[in-house]
């Protein structure tokens, strides 16, 4: 059984920066982490691996070469291998271009039985990429997954839906997007850290994917951030000082009535 876990290296929550000219997120900073929900996805893949024989877990990411650090961390936590797609051709990709590129990687790693990723990333918060990847792979997709039971030829999942849960059975191959309720991510082990030091993370460029360059990066992104700006908050303050009369209270009542508060 081959499992692919999609992980994304994101800025720390307080360190998200956008290029004001291009609207593209700046990802060159050192303060980066694995997207928290992708840690849940990785933990679930490792749990499945530890419960069965013959399971291989490959962590896949797209980003600058510094994202190798995130993939090595994934190996330290229990993944078997890591693949990074990186290069200028991918810069500025929206969710559509990102999904096409990641789907191409998964096809190259085929046969793949199960793809797991977080339901969304903390930097973009779109929650679109997982379902788009499933579309380009022609895989069924189950979203908001909070429990997984992997069987020989199918998977049973519990999905969080409005007002409760639902249970779904689906055959392989399938893509799952998981939420934070599925598990509690573990920590790298000493054995895992030693393995991560020795493992070679494969780095693939756009030339190694069966995609036209017009489908990648800004060129292949039909959605664009038109403008980035910081909101300006301004308030007009009216100050009435007590002068021993009822005038300040009367003026306040007039103001509240005008605003239809009372």
Per-residue pLDDT tens over the stretch 224-261: 777 766 777 777 777 877 788 888 888 888 888 888 87
Q: Which two tokens stand for residue 250?
A: 């009367």
Query: Which structural domains are found in the chain, ordered by start?
Result: 2-215 (3.40.50.620)
- Retrieve residue 141's tokens: 């997709």
The model's pLDDT over 178-225, given as tens digits with 9 standing for 90+, comes to: 999 999 998 888 999 999 999 999 999 888 888 888 888 888 888 877
User: Nearest to residue 22, comparing CAs of 226, 231, 230?
Assistant: 226
Select from 252, 19, 8 the least CA-distant residue to 130: 8
Quick: pLDDT tens for 68-104.
999 999 999 999 999 999 988 888 888 899 999 999 9
3-state secondary structure the chain: CEEEEECCEEECHHHCCECCCCCCECCCCCCEEECHHHHHHHHHHHHHHHHCCCCEEEEEEECCHHHHHHHHHHHHHCCCEEEEECCHHHCCCCHHHHHHHHHHHHHHCCCCCEEEEECCCCCCCCCCHHHHHHHHHCCCEEEEEEEEEECCCEEEEEEEECCEEEEEEEECCEEEEECHHHCCCCCCCHHHHHHHHHCCCEEECHHHCCCCHHHCCCCCCCCCCCCCCCCCCCCCCCCCCCCCCCHHHHHHHHHHHHCCCC
What pLDDT band is residue 26 in, cutting at 50, 70 and 90? low
Instruction: Evaluate whether 216 touches 93 at the Cβ level (below 8 Å).
Output: yes
List beta partners, residue 177.
117
């Amino acid at each position: 059984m081959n499992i692919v876990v999609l992980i994304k290296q994101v800025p720390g929550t307080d360190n998200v920066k956008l290029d004001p000219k291009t609207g593209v997120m700046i990802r060159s900073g050192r303060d980066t982490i694995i997207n928290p929900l992708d840690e849940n996805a990785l933990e679930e893949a490792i749990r499945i691996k530890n419960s069965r024989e013959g399971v291989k877990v490959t962590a896949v990411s797209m980003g600058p070469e510094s994202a190798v650090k995130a993939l090595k961390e994934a190996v330290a936590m229990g993944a078997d291998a890591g693949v990074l797609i990186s290069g200028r051709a991918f810069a500025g990709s929206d969710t559509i271009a990102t999904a096409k590129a990641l789907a191409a990687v998964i096809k190259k790693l085929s046969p793949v039985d199960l793809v797991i990723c977080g339901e969304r990333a903390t930097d973009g918060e779109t929650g679109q990429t997982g379902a788009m990847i499933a579309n380009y792979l022609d895989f069924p997709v189950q979203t908001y997954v909070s429990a997984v039971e992997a069987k020989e030829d199918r998977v049973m999942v519990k999905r969080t839906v409005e007002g409760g849960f639902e249970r779904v059975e689906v055959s392989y191959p399938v893509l799952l997007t998981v939420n934070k309720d599925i598990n509690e991510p573990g920590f790298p082990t000493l054995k895992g850290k030693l393995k991560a030091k020795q493992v070679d993370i494969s780095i693939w460029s756009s030339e190694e994917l069966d995609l036209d360059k017009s489908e990648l990066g800004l060129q292949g992104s039909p959605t664009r951030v038109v403008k980035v700006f910081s909101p300006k908050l301004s308030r007009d303050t009216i100050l009435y000082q007590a002068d021993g009369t009822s005038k300040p209270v009367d003026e306040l009542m007039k103001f509240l009535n005008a605003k239809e508060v009372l």
